[in-house]
Amino acid sequence: MSLCQLSLEIGKLNNRFNILDHDLLKVYSGIRNIILRISTPGRNSSNALLLGSHIDSTLPSPGAADDGMGVGVMLDIARVLVDRNEPFDNSILFMWNGAEETLQDGSHLYSTQHPSAKDIKAVINLEAAGTTGGALLFQATSKEMIEAFSHAPHPRGTVAAADVFASGIILSDTDFGQFEKYLNTSGLDFAIVGHSYFYHTRKDIVEFVEKGSAQHFGDNVLAIVDHLLTNSSALSTGAFSPPDMVYCSLYDTWFFSWSMKAADKAYLVIAALVTISTFANVKWGKPMVLTIVGAPLGLVAGLLSANAVAGLLTLTGKRQLWYVPFRNSSLKNRFSHEHLPLVLYVPAGFLGHLGLQYFLSRSISPVDRKPLEKYHYHAQMIFSTAQMLALQAFRIRSAYLFAVITSIMLSGVAVRGAVGKGVWKFILPFTLLVGATVEAVTSVRSPPDLGC
């Protein structure tokens, strides 16, 4: 029989909070946290897993997704554990904290003052920065917790999301930061991030929370909870290994992870294959040097042309031209589509890139232009390989993205060697690149159809 203990924490404290590299001394009072502990009598319940979500919202947002969804998912997981009435090792703490939106006061209060905080061995934080899509894993702070995430039935997470969040480009934080700092433990940080236009606005209401998002969130977190509670060693010591792992998911179905040491070896093999392929298929001279120089310059030109379109829209007062909410009541005033910016900026980027290549090709004779297509293909492989090795040298785990791109391009070289000339040599790499692009574009948007 499950043992449930419910408590209410009310407190005041001061907190030295760092924001944008500036220390801020905060004093807060009247903060309320609701804590539910579920354990099995007679089992080792001193080691605990913490699930956290916040019960406050920003003005004027109703907070249906941020963080009503997280609150609801936690309530349902608690219900499932109680209704099952099955014994499990360790224990689980559900903490619905206040004052997250005022720079994490509630999680700070719990982490530094509540008696149960000393039992916490791992943390799972549930958040939202949008209203659609599945739950994206954007922080995983140990090898063991990455392995726990692999048990999710609909894995959605990539180390690239973790790298972007850790870089500080996104000026945001969650309660996870307080848990990590004051509980000195590891964990996972999840968020619904699709259609962030409604984040912290009056549109964050149940009507705009996408069907299937909460189910996706709950299914994944429950599976991870089951793994951590039934594996007696998962929370036994709290001694976690560094997250020296590369990981990614594919279409909410497959999850892959490997160590950085394995990545070191794999990337060297890829680089060797690119080198061999290049020397076997190109002749070094001005055309090849031109394409090698043109690869990074093409990227710059593409960025400039895309930003030129953005500047033009800004000057004409149409900065969010793609964001036109439907007025048809049957469509529930939903946005047109958050991926429509791709229609504006991707063609512009390609135009800038290809325009530069055309300009560079004019600097050589027509006779020397004939092999430029093949040379440009190899130059792009070399550029992608250089980015892969540079990121890996700085131990940036997102290097795997360039390893994937380079490997796909190598498949095109292999096909060309097998079938010779013709369009067929482009079909395999094109298909694989389109598949990878679809995964990247949809990873923050559409949850799977879970029949709910």
CA angle (131, 249, 181) in 5-degree steps: 70
Q: Which ranges of 40-67 would DSSP assign to H, the alpha helix?
A: none
Q: Is 248 part of a structural domain of the chain?
A: no
Whether 170 and 318 share a structural domain: no
Q: pLDDT tens digit string along 62-81? A: 999 999 999 999 999 999 99
Question: The domain containing residue 396 runs over which residues?
Answer: 261-442
Whether 238 and 266 share a structural domain: no
Whether 74 and 119 share a structural domain: yes
Q: pLDDT tens digit string along 278-331? A: 999 999 999 999 999 999 999 999 999 999 999 999 999 888 777 765 444 444
Q: Is 447 part of a structural domain of the chain?
A: no
d(CA 406, CA 427): 16
Asked if 100 is an active-site residue, the reply is yes
Q: Is 255 part of a structural domain of the chain?
A: no
Domain boundary among 196, 211, 243: 243
When mean pLDDT is compared across 171-175, 257-261, 430-434, 446-450, the lowest value belongs to 446-450
Q: Is 256 part of a structural domain of the chain?
A: no
Domain boundary among 197, 213, 243: 243
Whether 54 and 113 share a structural domain: yes
Whether 272 and 224 share a structural domain: no
Whether 266 and 200 share a structural domain: no
Domain boundary among 208, 243, 278: 243
Question: Among residues 9, 100, 101, 144, which one is catalytic?
Answer: 100
Whether 405 and 309 share a structural domain: yes
Q: Is 251 part of a structural domain of the chain?
A: no
Whether 358 and 231 share a structural domain: no
- CATH code at position 91: 3.40.630.10
pLDDT, position 331: 46
Provide mean pLDDT across the span 387-405: 97
Per-residue pLDDT for 195 more than 50? Answer: yes
> How many domains are there within the chain?
2
Q: Is 36 part of a structural domain of the chain?
A: yes
Q: How confident is the model at residue 332 (pLDDT cuts 50, 70, 90)?
A: very low
Q: How confident is the model at residue 45 (pLDDT cuts 50, 70, 90)?
A: confident
Q: Mean of the per-residue pLDDT values for the chain? A: 90
Which residues are CB-contacts of 379 (< 8 A; sequence separation ≥ 6)?
Answer: 288, 291, 292, 294, 295
Tell me the pTM. 0.91
Q: Which two tokens stand for residue 75?
A: 């309530």
Q: Is 254 part of a structural domain of the chain?
A: no
Q: Percent of the chain beyond pLDDT 70?
A: 92
Q: pLDDT tens digit string along 92-111? A: 999 999 999 999 999 999 99
3-state secondary structure of 437: helix
Q: How far is CA 80 from CA 2, 10, 83, 218, in A?
A: 11, 28, 5, 11
Q: Where is 91: in which H helix or E strand?
A: strand 91-97
Whether 358 and 286 share a structural domain: yes
Provide mean pLDDT across the span 1-16: 90
Q: Is 450 part of a structural domain of the chain?
A: no
